Structure formats: structure tokens, C-alpha cells
Amino acid sequence: MNRSLDPQWLSPPGARGDEAVRGDVGTGVGASLPHESAHLHVAGSAPYVDDLPELAGTLHAALGLSPVAHGRLVAVDRDRIATMPGVVAVLVAADIPGPNDCGPVVHDDPILADGVVHYLGQPVFAVIAETRDQARRAAAQAKAALTIEPLAPILTPVEAHAAKSYVLAPMHLARGDARAAIAAAPHRLADTLEVGGQEQFYLEGQISYAVPREDRGMLVHCSTQHPSEMQHLVAKCLGLQSHHVQVECRRMGGGFGGKESQSALFACVAAIAARQLGRPVKLRLDRDDDFMITGRRHCFHYEYEVGYDDDGRILGAELTMVSRAGFSADLSGPVMTRAICHFDNAYWLPDVAIHGYSGRTNTQSNTAFRGFGGPQGAIAVENIIDSIARQLGKDPLDVRRVNFYGPSPRAGAPGERNVTPYGQVVDDNIVVELVAELEATSGYRARRQAIAEYNATSAVLKRGIALTPVKFGISFNLVHLNQAGALVHVYGDGSVLVNHGGTEMGQGLNTKVAQVVAHELGVDIASVRVTATDTQKVANTSATAASTGSDLNGKAAQDAARQIKARLVAFAAERHGVAADEVRFAADEVEIGAKKTVSFRELIVEAYMARVQLWSDGFYATPGLSWDRETMQGHPFYYFAYGAAVSEVVVDTLTGEWRLLAGHVLHDAGRSLNPAIDIGQIEGGFIQGMGWLTMEELVWHPNDGTPRAGLLLTHAPSTYKIPTANDCPPVFDVRLWKDGVGDDNVAETIHRSKATGEPPLLLPFSVFFAIRDAVSSAGDHRVDPPLSAPATSEAILRAVTSVQAARP
């Protein structure tokens, strides 16, 4: 029996990371507690926006979409639509009281098209009707109601680059002299790569419910990752001030970045209609319209050239990245910035030049997606290293290892191979030790040998294996966004209410924040409740994005709880005549000196009677950050999260079908606030990233001069495939790296924890390169497989055919 299929060998003792589950269940921090809404989720009783009871008089909105990818908007036949059954109003750009714009950075993103339509699926008008079905039926008349003079569209990033059509000015980052280093290198490699985009495919689609309030006020229930931005944009489009608008979000059914900026259009349309008609208006998209209107992960085109030595050490590299930004800027600038800042991944690049272009195309405006450009940047260098290894006949892991960043300054080697191309010192590097541990515990070397023996005797089925690392920077690149606020209330019965600026989208943010507050006050987690995110409670919040949710909001809530605790300590010490350091909170009790213990509730009652303030606001701003977007230099990340994964696959060279046989993950979560939630995030991120790189293919109708040009053909689950439970490997071992690592290796985050939202999405690079390894074996590893992502079965088969044809 081939040992690479032996589950006991693939799954060494302790691989599930049970040793990482630690902590005091009572205080919460470090304990593997369930998600705070888990009992509601499984019972089907967790309310989302569409579950809220509709107020009397509620109307429903639907959007009329452009049937062409590019053209001049000549006329909208509103009368044709207005006569449809149940229609109350038809709104166009001219009906918007304020600016017709919902762009998050650049003001180039109209709420409703005006003058020119920029993509097939762009909203041109809104139908408001008595029922949702009536609104949708009327909106479906868009093709007949719109008069549009077609213009030639640009659909791909390559076309945009050739036409010098960009939504933003190009970005350039350089260190040293890349061209000279490449020219002087013993070996050179030049190639291109294509990596596709990815639909967020959140379970709950885009939805907003706007309710008019007194004195021009507006309440908007919105499924959004950024309530404050929705508040600002709704107020602006209504010609009001922010204090007129309240945005509330209790939970989302997934976001993944797709509800960071792009929930704005729907919040604005619902609010405009509610304002004009004086009635509540709900706008809920169906899945097809969601696909057709909203953007997704940017696809990237790469052109690169590198020089390297006999060991595979990169001496010089030049990379050009062109993204499909879509018709407007949206968040394409920050996405490209992060892509550029993650091209190095875990590797020292001494001489490097990186060029980033955000191509303007007549497609949906692409936006944030888990990883926010980081995965698109890092996969380029991983592809380069994989190709270098094949050219030299070496194990890719050995080539990766010689390129790793050097020891951190704290380890005794200041300034040696540990400065990123953008000038930040890598002072928390653990990638060498982490990869070494995973290499050993996964049996990587023995499995590679076993795979080689298997492939030598198997003509059709080929196996492959890869181990890839991750170094991911945590913080917003825009420094001012790295702030958060929170409110903590302690009631007379000892119960605690928390509100903060982050949003819950299933990732467990509220659970972690509740654990932090419970820990600070020494109470059981059951005593703490976290309420809906509300712009009238915590103002000027940042998006729940960039993997900063727990770092920022956990620290803000901790600050608020500590202020309350400090007041209680001072009160108890004075009343009972003890020193402040003799007052300790734990397990729902308060020890006051050596002889007295009272319940937390008793102390709260005493403090209330003594008029001690039992609520507080908290605030946190991440220290030490800097970024110059002109020079692309600074210290944009508070810390780096690290991880590594080993994947083993089998590929059918006759059909291109493949299976993931085993996945082993070792990830750095610092001192995990909740190991169960973190492991769940790592597992989910791995499978989602695997879907991006192997099966989730976005296809637009080509620019053939027909009206269908620019039509997104994969706009529903029938044509766009995401991973299912069946795609999970039979062996899937996820462990946390040294839970409770030393303070020297972890920044002063909330309880020395690290983010697990975005970094795990890069772990399934190992799946893609394992597939590449299997395809390469079809040519005896003598030909570099021409495989781009997603590596669908069709793409794999084409690569196998190419490798076999080119085999010497």
C-alpha cells in the first residue's frame, strides 16, 4: 500500500491541534467557546435584514439594468414601466436629491447610470412597487424601456493595458537595480501568468431596508461591513448630514469584502425611494442580479522576469501586474497597493521592481475580497519559485527555504535580509521554524519520495505535493482607518452590554469581543451580550476588513472595560480599606483583601448606590504605523501573520479531474482568543482559497461586436461552481503554531493574539502547486506546466497535453 494514502501516516498524533485549546471557560479568553449566535443559527432563528418584520406600508424596489456593456444612454421610457401592475414610482439619476455617487474613494461610481452606461448589468433605474415580485417584473422591462447607442467595450485587463485605460495612476515600487541584477544573474526566467477573479458568494445577498424617520431622519437596516460609510453616502445622496442617518447591522450572512463598499448602491437607492415616497422601502437582490451588478476579487495578468543563482536564490526580479478594475476605481487602488506589498510573501528580494496597473474595463467594478490583493501579489512569487525549482531540478521547498527572510533583529541579526521592498523591517519572523515543524510533522520528504515512486509506475493517475508558506501583513494601508471605538455598560444585576464598531458576518468577532470583556471584568461569558452595530452608538467606525476586526474592536472594548474596572477597584479599595492591588476580579467574584469576597453583582449594587459610573466608552488606535503612497514606503503593518500548508493531490491525466487527498496546515494565531473559532476560520479560508485557485471560473462573453459582449455568463450556481463539503480532503489537519508563543514574537495586540481572517486564504497555494507538480510529472518534471488559475479540469487537461507534447 502506498503510504501517501495511509490516513495514520498522513495524520500524525496531535495534528488536530487539541493541545492549542486552552483558557478559563469562565473568563473566556483563550477558551474554545461556541459562536455567540450558534444556537440561533442551528435553530434558524437568527434574524437577518430580510427577516425583520416589515412595517405597514413597506414598498419594494428592484433595479433596471443595462443590457449592453458600453453605450450612450439616450432615453428611459419611464411611462412604459410605470404602467406595470403595482408600480408606485420609477426613479432615475435625475431624481437623486444629492450627488449621484457612491464611490468609496474616487467619486466615479454613479448610483444610477447617467449619460453613459459602463457595463452590462449597471443599474439605470429603480422600480418601486407594492410587492417584490411586481418590482422585479417591471424592472425586467429594461431592455425594451432603454434606448442606448452602443460604444466599443474594453473587457480584459490586457486590452485595458494596451489601451492605457486605467481607473487610477499606475503604481511603482523599486529597490536597488532589478534590471542590472537580472542581467548579471547566472540564470534568468521570463514568463506570464493569469489568475482569475472570484465571486464572494455570501449566503445572504445584498439587501437594505430604509425607514423614514421624523425631521428628515432615515433608518437603514443594511447588510454591510461598513455602517459608517453607508451612513455617510446615504446622507450625501439625500443632501443631508450624517446625523440624519442611522445605519444598523446586527449580522450578515457572509461578506468576504463584497459588502465593504458595494452595499452602498443598494442602501442609497432604498433611502432615496423612502425619502421621496415617505414609506419604508426594501431592496433585496436575487442571486443573478447580485452577480450582474456587484464586483468581486480582481483578476490579474502578470508579466515577470527574474534572475537567480545555482541554488535558486532570487537575485533580481521585475514584475508587472495588471488588474481588471472594472468601470470605476472602487477599492482597486488599495487592492493593488496590498498586492504590491505582498509580492515578497516570505522571501527576501534584494533588487526588485514592481509595477501595478488598475485596468479600466467595461465590466462590474471589482472590489474587496478576503485577502484584498495580498493573495494576488503573493501567488506571483510562489509561481516564480516553483518554476525556478523545476528549471534547476530541485525540490521547490529547498528553493523556497534559501529565499526566506533572514532572522529578525530580535534574534540577533539586525538588518540582514529582513527588510521588505517597501521599507518595513520584518521583526517577528517565524517562518523558518514554522515551516521546519510542518515539514517534519507532515512527513513531507517521505511523502515526496513515495509520490515519485507511485508516479513512476502509474501512467494515467499522477500525484503531486507542495509545501507553501504565508507571510501576511495586518493593518489597513490607510493609517487613519486603524482605529475603533466601543461602549460597555454594566447593569445593576451585574450583566454587561457591549457595543462596538465592528460587524459580525459569521467570523466570530462578537464572540471574541465578549470574551475580552468577560476576561477584563472577571465574569462568566454568559453575563456579556454584544448588540447590533449602530452608527448612533459608536461613530466614525472603520470597515470590518483587513483582518483587523478583533485587533481594533477587541482593544477598544478592553479599554472601556478597564475604565469601569478601575473605578470599581478604587471604590472597593477605599470602602474596605485595602490597597488597590488587593482587589481582584475572577470567576464572577471580587476578592477584596485577604479576608473578604463578594459577588460581582454585589459590588455593582454597592457601587451604583455610591454613584460610581458603571459604563464607559473605549478607544484604540494602532500605534507605529506609517505609509507614504507616493514613495510606497513606510511601516504599513502592525505585525505579520505566518502559516504554511502541505497539500497532496491526484490528477487524472486523461480527463484533468483531480482530488485533494490531504491537507496539513500549521498557522500562526499568536495567543489565540478562541482556538475553535480560529481553526474554523483557517479551515474555511483554506477551502475558499482552494475554490478560487481551482474551480471558480468567471467567464464573460467576448468582445465579438454583438450585444452580448461583456455579458457575465457565470452568474448563478448553475454555471459558477464553489467548493462543497465533498471537495474537502479526507485528511484535513489544522493546527495552531505554538499557542502562547513568547511576547518577543507577537506584537502587543489584544492578548497577544493574531488575525485569522485573511491570511489562511493563501494557504491553499499549496493545492495549486501540488496540481502543478502532478502535471509536471506527466513530463518527467522536465517541462514547466503552462497552468494558470483557476486550475479547472479543462485547464489541467490543456496543461497536461502541453507538457506531454513538449517532453524531450
Query: 679-715 pLDDT, tens per residue?
Result: 999 999 999 999 999 999 999 999 999 999 999 999 9
Instruction: Provide the sign of the torsion angle of the four alpha carbons 121, 123, 125, 126, taken in this order.
Output: positive
765 vs 466: CA distance, rounded Å: 9
Judged by DSSP in three states, 468 sits in strand
Closest by CA to 545, choosing from 506, 502, 515, is 502
124 vs 75: CA distance, rounded Å: 10
- The mean pLDDT value for 182-200 works out to 98
Active-site residue (options: 199, 504, 697, 758): 758
pLDDT at 420 over 80: yes
Residues in the chain: 808
What single-letter amino acid sits at 176?
G
Residues forming a β-bridge with 626: 635
What are the grid coordinates assigned to 199, written together?
465571486
What is the C-alpha R_g of the chain?
27
Largest CA distance in the chain: 88
* Residue 729 or 9, more confident: 729
364 vs 206: CA distance, rounded Å: 15
Alpha-carbon distances of 583 from 353, 432, 521, 591, rounded to whole Å: 58, 44, 12, 6
> Residue 738's pLDDT is what?
84
Instruction: Reply yes or no on whether 130 is catalytic.
Output: no
pLDDT at 192 over 80: yes
- pLDDT tier at 28, thresholds 50, 70, 90: confident
What are the grid coordinates assigned to 113, written together?
447610470
Closest by CA to 664, choosing from 605, 729, 614, is 729
Q: Are 258 and 368 in contact (CB under 8 A)?
A: yes
735 vs 668: CA distance, rounded Å: 9
pLDDT at 25 over 90: no
171 vs 780: CA distance, rounded Å: 40
The rounded percent of the chain whose pLDDT value lies above 70 is: 95
> Residue 27's pLDDT is what?
60
Neighbouring C-beta atoms of residue 63, cutoff 10 Å = 25
Using the structure block, give the residue that is written with the C-alpha cell 513568547: 742
Closest by CA to 51, choosing from 37, 64, 33, is 37
For residue 543, the 8-state DSSP code is P
- The mean pLDDT value for 724-732 works out to 97
pLDDT at 9 over 90: no
Judged by DSSP in three states, 99 sits in coil
738 vs 747: CA distance, rounded Å: 15
Q: Are 754 and 641 in contact (CB under 8 A)?
A: yes
What single-letter amino acid sits at 781?
H
Q: 261-276: b or e for each residue (b if 16 or more CB lie within 10 Å)?
A: bbbbbbbbbbbbbbbb
pTM score, whole prediction: 0.95
46 vs 202: CA distance, rounded Å: 16
279 vs 271: CA distance, rounded Å: 10
Query: 565-616 pLDDT, tens per residue?
Result: 999 999 999 999 999 999 999 999 999 999 899 999 999 999 999 999 999 9
> CA angle 804-805-806, nearest 5°?
90
Q: Are 314 and 182 in contact (CB under 8 A)?
A: no
> Residue 807's pLDDT is what?
82
Judged by DSSP in three states, 112 sits in coil
116 vs 147: CA distance, rounded Å: 11
> Residue 745's pLDDT is what?
60
Q: Are 535 and 246 in contact (CB under 8 A)?
A: yes
- The mean pLDDT value for 438-449 works out to 98
| 314-326 and 352-360 beta bridge pairing | parallel
Q: Are 599 and 606 in contact (CB under 8 A)?
A: no
Q: Dihedral, CA atoms, 547, 549, 554, 556, nearest 10 degrees?
A: 120
179 vs 306: CA distance, rounded Å: 9
783 vs 789: CA distance, rounded Å: 18
- The mean pLDDT value for 336-345 works out to 98
Query: 444-479 pLDDT, tens per residue?
Result: 999 999 999 999 999 999 999 999 999 999 999 999
- pLDDT tier at 740, thresholds 50, 70, 90: very low
What single-letter amino acid sits at 684?
G
> Residue 410's pLDDT is what?
54
- What are phi and psi for residue 222, nearest 5 degrees? -140, 135
pLDDT at 10 over 80: no
pLDDT at 416 over 80: no
- pLDDT tier at 746, thresholds 50, 70, 90: confident
CA–centroid distance for 616 within its chain: 31
Q: Are 16 and 735 in contact (CB under 8 A)?
A: yes
What single-letter amino acid sits at 182?
I
Query: 286-337 pLDDT, tens per residue?
Result: 999 999 999 999 999 999 999 999 999 999 999 999 999 999 999 999 999 9
- pLDDT tier at 742, thresholds 50, 70, 90: low
382 vs 362: CA distance, rounded Å: 30
Residues forming a β-bridge with 722: none
419 vs 458: CA distance, rounded Å: 45
Closest by CA to 255, choosing from 35, 546, 529, is 546
Query: 123-167 pLDDT, tens per residue?
Result: 999 999 999 999 999 999 999 999 999 999 999 999 999 999 999
Q: Is the peptide bond before 790 cis (omega within 30 degrees of 0)?
A: yes
What are the grid coordinates assigned to 807, written together?
517532453
Q: Which residues contact 693 (CB under 8 A, 6 or more apart)?
A: 195, 379, 764, 765, 767, 768, 789, 790, 791
Judged by DSSP in three states, 165 sits in coil
- The mean pLDDT value for 190-208 works out to 98
**Mean pLDDT rounded to a whole number for the chain:** 94
Instruction: Provide the sign of the torsion angle of the four alpha carbons 218, 224, 230, 234, taken in this order.
Output: negative
Query: 240-279 pLDDT, tens per residue?
Result: 999 999 999 999 999 999 999 999 999 999 999 999 999 9
> Residue 21's pLDDT is what?
35
Query: 479-510 pLDDT, tens per residue?
Result: 999 999 999 999 999 999 999 999 999 999 99
Instruction: Provide the sign of the torsion angle of the four alpha carbons 587, 590, 591, 595, taken in this order.
Output: negative
Secondary-structure breakdown of the chain: helix, strand, coil percentages, each rounded to the nearest 5: 35, 25, 40
Judged by DSSP in three states, 644 sits in strand
- The mean pLDDT value for 723-744 works out to 84
For residue 3, the 8-state DSSP code is G
Q: Are 645 and 785 in contact (CB under 8 A)?
A: no
Alpha-carbon distances of 268 from 107, 210, 231, 313, 367, rounded to whole Å: 15, 9, 9, 52, 18
Instruction: Provide the sign of the torsion angle of the four alpha carbons 27, 29, 33, 38, taken in this order.
Output: positive
Q: Are 731 and 663 in contact (CB under 8 A)?
A: yes
pLDDT at 2 over 90: no
